[in-house]
Amino acid sequence: MKYMSTRGNVKGINFQDAVLMGLADDGGLLVPEEIPFMSIKEIKALKDKGYQEVALIIMKKYISDIDEATLEEIVFKSYKTFEDEKVIPVIKLGNFYLSELFHGPTYAFKDIALQFLGNLFEYILDQRNDYLNIIGATSGDTGSAAIYGVRGKKGIKIFILHPRGRVSRMQELQMTTVLDDNVFNIAIAGTFDDCQYIVKEIFSDVEFKRKYNLGSINSINWARVLAQIVYYFYSYFQTDEADSMSKVNFVVPTGNFGNILAGFYAKKMGLPVNKLIIATNENNILYRFIKKGDYSIRNVVETYSPSMDIQIASNFERFLFYLFEGDSNWVVKSMKQLKNEKKINFSDELMKKVREIFDATSTSNERNLEVIKEIYDKYKYIVDPHTACGIDAVLKLKNFYNEAFIAMSTAHPAKFIDSVVKAIGAKPEVPNGLKELENKEKRVYELEASVSLVKKFIEKNL
């Protein structure tokens, strides 16, 4: 399997090089040159396998330059850190399923990809006797999951930008209490979109990127998306629908389009999926796109679900590549329009194609808390504010589709205690891994939202 850029000027890249490259050198995102298709018979054969076994089989289809024994070792090592033996258990709440993606070391779905990516980086760098300086932006969960994935690893330094005061207290503590010498937390005076812009601009400076061996842990890194494809298959296998290979609807809280994109790949691979439903909060550019064809950037508003307080969905470019049937010229044109005009125009014909795959909902801040309370009152089960957006989508759309719903639960509610208390008047049970953070020493560096300042900081600390 080889990889190419969505913008057409980088082609024939093997998997390991794609992992280290992160953002393609032409400014695009790397995608597989083909998407492997699995027959229903092949998919059904995965049904009774463990998570690691399913992961190995799916990943092998995209990785041809790591031998199977080594890949198996990396995969099994990555998911030993999870507290639930299933890695991702699926429960049923009334008439829908909930896939618990938060049993990793930082209690968020990002661990599923970033535990794998951290071990992958370590293997590749060791084989090449090389080093890597990782730079990434986070709206909350990516940062801590990335840090926990690479902390203390040989040959790696990591620089994580988060929007100062715009992540939850627990998310901030998970990042800033990691004091390993190879970890640098940077609080940016701005929004997540400012952080993401800085990272993309730095990666677009190819000379700077090569000089300092920069790599990415954001979902612009293909390995992140690949690892997340697996849990769509595994979640499906834990439902009654898997017995008859019936189609399901996946509901996915998403702001950066990475989580839902993995579901898109799973559907393209042959998993029986009817609709992929995007659940947004009030920062609803993806909802406006699906429902109205309106992909225009507005100001970010603060919500109870801060990891989705995003207007510029970086992984959207990968979807555009497929929407435009692999025409990189259209991708470049669209991304240029987005940069210059803060919007992308879509024809009615293209939107018809989009709606065959996706549906979407938007949840207000007030409604978010109501959903948390409704689920708690009815099932004595506590969900975090991001998952609540997903459940709201199920409640809004359950009468529109005949197929079963699987909602992705993206974070442990204890990471958002203030919002949960506001909703139900009680604190969720806090895992020991989060309790101990309050009394730990912290280290964080504060910078203005400036590409040049962040570059200088990186140079100073290498």
pLDDT higher for 310 or 223? Answer: 223
Q: pLDDT tens across 202-246, in order? A: 988 989 999 999 988 878 899 999 999 999 999 999 999 999 999
Instruction: Name the nearest CA neighbour of 82 among 62, 44, 55, 58.
Output: 55
Give the whole-angstrom CA distance, residue 6 versus residue 163: 28
pTM over 0.85: yes
**pLDDT, mean of residues 177-197:** 94
Q: What is the per-residue pLDDT for 318?
A: 97
CA 167 to chain centre: 16
Average pLDDT, the chain: 95
CB 57 within 8 A of CB 73: no
Q: What is the pLDDT of residue 378?
A: 97
User: Which residue type sits at 122?
Assistant: E
What angle in degrees, to the nearest 10, is found between the helix axes of 68-79 and 51-60? Answer: 140
- pLDDT number for residue 46: 96
Mean pLDDT of 358-369: 98
The pLDDT value recorded for residue 268 is 98
pLDDT confidence of residue 168: 87
> Distance between CA atoms of 451 and 195, rounded to whole angstroms?
9
pLDDT at position 255? 85
Which residue type occupies 183?
V
Contacts of residue 340, defined as CB under 8 A and 6 or more positions apart, other chains included, come to none
Indicate if the pLDDT at residue 86 is higher than 90: yes
Mean pLDDT of 114-141: 92
- Please identify, in words, the CATH class of the domain defined by 90-106+223-424: alpha beta
Question: Catalytic: which of 49, 92, 110, 333?
Answer: 110
Tokens of 80: 């030993």
The answer to whether residue 247 is catalytic is no
Q: What spatial distance separates the first Cα and last Cα of the chain, rounded to whole Å?
A: 34
pLDDT surpassing 90 at residue 29: yes
The torsion angles phi and psi of 274, rounded to 5 degrees, stand at -85, -75
Beta carbons of 227 and 266 less than 8 angstroms apart:
no
* Torsion angle of C-alpha atoms 417, 98, 87, 83, degrees rounded to 10: 30
Dihedral of CA atoms 218, 220, 226, 231 in degrees, nearest 10, equals 50
Distance between CA atoms of residues 173 and 434, nearest Å: 9
Q: How far apart are alpha carbons 163 and 36 in whole angstroms?
A: 38
CA distance 191 to 449: 9
- Give helix 169-176 / helix 141-150 axis angle, nearest 10°: 20
The residue extents of the domains of the chain are 90-106+223-424
Check pLDDT > 80 for residue 140. Answer: no
Q: What integer pLDDT is reported at residue 201 of this predicted model?
A: 93
User: pLDDT band at residue 15, thresholds of 50, 70 and 90?
Assistant: very high
Q: Which residue has the tokens 């990809």?
A: 113
Residue type, 78: S
Residue 28 has pLDDT above 80, yes or no: yes
Q: Give strand pairing partners of 300.
A: none
- Does residue 307 register a pLDDT over 90? no
Higher-pLDDT residue of 332, 220: 332
Specify the pLDDT at position 310: 87
Q: Considering Cα of 216, then 220, then 221, then 227, what sign does the dihedral take?
A: positive
* Beta strands 96-100; 132-137: pairing state: unpaired
Structure confidence by residue, pLDDT tens digits, 236-288:
999 999 999 999 999 999 988 999 999 999 999 999 999 999 999 999 999 99
Q: What is the pLDDT of residue 313?
A: 87
Q: What is the pLDDT of residue 180?
A: 95
CA dihedral 289, 292, 393, 417 (to 10 degrees): 50
169-176 helix and 417-424 helix, angle to the nearest 10 degrees:
160
Query: Is the pLDDT higher at 312 or at 377?
Result: 377
154-177 pLDDT tens trace = 899 999 999 999 998 999 999 999
Burial environment of residue 283 by CB neighbours within 10 A (0 to 12, 13 to 18, 19 or more): buried
pLDDT of residue 89: 98
